[in-house]
Amino acid sequence: MKKLRSSAASSSQGAVPERFLMRLTAASPTLVSLPVIDLSGGRDEVRRAVLHAGKELGFFQVINHGMPERTMREMEMACSDFFRLPTTDKATLYSEDSEQTNRLLSSTMYRSAASESYACHCLHLACHPVERTKPSWPEKPVRLRPALEDFIIPARSIAMELLRLLCEGIGLQPDYFEGGLTGGDVIINANRYPPCADPNLTLGLPPHCDWNLITVLLQPGYVCGLQVLYNGDWIDVDPIPGALVINFGHQLEIATNGVLRSIEHRTVPNIVVGRTTVAALIMPTMDCVVGPAKELVVEGRSARYRRVAFRDFMHIYNTVGACKESVEEALKI
Ligand code: OGA
Ligand code: NI
CATH number at residue 75: 2.60.120.330
Whether residue 151 is predicted with pLDDT greater than 90 in this model: the reply is yes
* Cβ of residue 251 lying under 6 Å from some atom of ligand 1: no
Q: Please report which confidence band the pLDDT of residue 32 belongs to, taking 50, 70 and 90 as the band edges.
A: low
13-27, 130-144, 177-191, 212-226: least confident range? 13-27
| Test site for ligand 1: of 75, 76, 122, 205, most ligand atoms within 8 A of the Cβ | 205
The pLDDT of 219-248, averaged and rounded, is: 93
* Cβ of residue 217 lying under 6 Å from some atom of ligand 1: yes
In tens, the pLDDT along 68-99 reads 999 999 999 999 999 999 999 999 899 888 78
Whether residue 14 is predicted with pLDDT greater than 90 in this model: the reply is no
Whether residue 309 is predicted with pLDDT greater than 90 in this model: the reply is yes
Q: Which atom of ligand 1 is nearest to the CA of 237?
A: 8
57 CB neighbour count, 10 Å cutoff = 21
Residues 6+ apart with CB under 8 A from 132: none
Ligand 1 center–CA 302 separation, angstroms? 32
CA atoms within 13 A on the CB side of 182: 21
Residue 294 counted as domain residue: no
Ligand 2 center–CA 322 separation, angstroms? 10
* Cβ of residue 277 lying under 6 Å from some atom of ligand 1: yes
Decide which of 22 and 170 is more confident. 170
Alpha carbon distance 66, 54 (integer Å)? 20
Whether residue 62 is predicted with pLDDT greater than 90 in this model: the reply is yes
Give the pLDDT confidence score for residue 1 in this predicted structure.
47
Ligand 1, atom 1: nearest CA belongs to which residue? 279
* Cβ of residue 133 lying under 6 Å from some atom of ligand 1: no
The pLDDT of 126-149, averaged and rounded, is: 96
Q: Coil, strand or helix: which one is 198?
A: coil
Residue 33 counted as domain residue: yes
Alpha carbon distance 278, 286 (integer Å)? 23
Average pLDDT over the chain, rounded to an integer: 88
Output the CA–CA distances (angstroms, integers) from residue 11 to 29, 42, 196, 198, in the order listed: 19, 49, 9, 6
Q: Please report which confidence band the pLDDT of residue 117 belongs to, taking 50, 70 and 90 as the band edges.
A: low
Q: Identify the nearest ligand to the CA of 204 by its number.
A: 1
Ligand 2 center–CA 122 separation, angstroms? 12
The pLDDT of 16-35, averaged and rounded, is: 57
Q: Which of 102, 97, 183 is closest to 136 using CA atoms?
A: 102
Q: Please report which confidence band the pLDDT of residue 106 belongs to, taking 50, 70 and 90 as the band edges.
A: confident
Q: Coil, strand or helix: which one is 182?
A: helix
* Cβ of residue 245 lying under 6 Å from some atom of ligand 1: no
Residue 212 counted as domain residue: yes
H helices of the chain, in order, are 43-56, 69-84, 87-90, 130-133, 144-170, 250-255, 310-320, 324-331
Alpha carbon distance 61, 246 (integer Å)? 6
Decide which of 199 and 290 is more confident. 290
Decide which of 106 and 274 is more confident. 274
* Cβ of residue 257 lying under 6 Å from some atom of ligand 1: no
Number of separate domains in the chain: 1
Alpha carbon distance 296, 301 (integer Å)? 8
* Cβ of residue 267 lying under 6 Å from some atom of ligand 1: yes
| Test site for ligand 1: of 107, 108, 118, 191, most ligand atoms within 8 A of the Cβ | 191
Give the pLDDT confidence score for residue 119 in this predicted structure.
79
* Cβ of residue 266 lying under 6 Å from some atom of ligand 1: no
Whether residue 270 is predicted with pLDDT greater than 90 in this model: the reply is no
Ligand 1, atom 6: nearest CA belongs to which residue? 210
Q: Coil, strand or helix: which one is 72?
A: helix
* Cβ of residue 226 lying under 6 Å from some atom of ligand 1: yes
Ligand 1, atom 9: nearest CA belongs to which residue? 279
* Cβ of residue 247 lying under 6 Å from some atom of ligand 1: no
Q: Please report which confidence band the pLDDT of residue 25 belongs to, taking 50, 70 and 90 as the band edges.
A: very low
Residues 6+ apart with CB under 8 A from 106: 94, 121
Residue 11 counted as domain residue: no
Alpha carbon distance 226, 265 (integer Å)? 7
Q: Is 203:119 a contact under the CB 8 Å cutoff? A: yes
Report the DSSP pairing between strands 36-38 and 59-63. Answer: parallel
The pLDDT of 190-195, averaged and rounded, is: 93
Whether residue 319 is predicted with pLDDT greater than 80 in this model: the reply is yes
Domain that holds residue 176: 18-289
Residue 32 counted as domain residue: yes
Q: Is 108:258 a contact under the CB 8 Å cutoff? A: no
Q: Is 259:221 a contact under the CB 8 Å cutoff? A: no
Whether residue 53 is predicted with pLDDT greater than 60 in this model: the reply is yes
Q: Please report which confidence band the pLDDT of residue 20 belongs to, taking 50, 70 and 90 as the band edges.
A: low
Q: Which atom of ligand 1 is nearest to the CA of 215?
A: 6
Instruction: Give the whole-number percent of the chain exceeding pLDDT 70.
Output: 86
* Cβ of residue 279 lying under 6 Å from some atom of ligand 1: yes
Q: Is 206:112 a contact under the CB 8 Å cutoff? A: yes
Residue 3 counted as domain residue: no
Whether residue 118 is predicted with pLDDT greater than 90 in this model: the reply is no
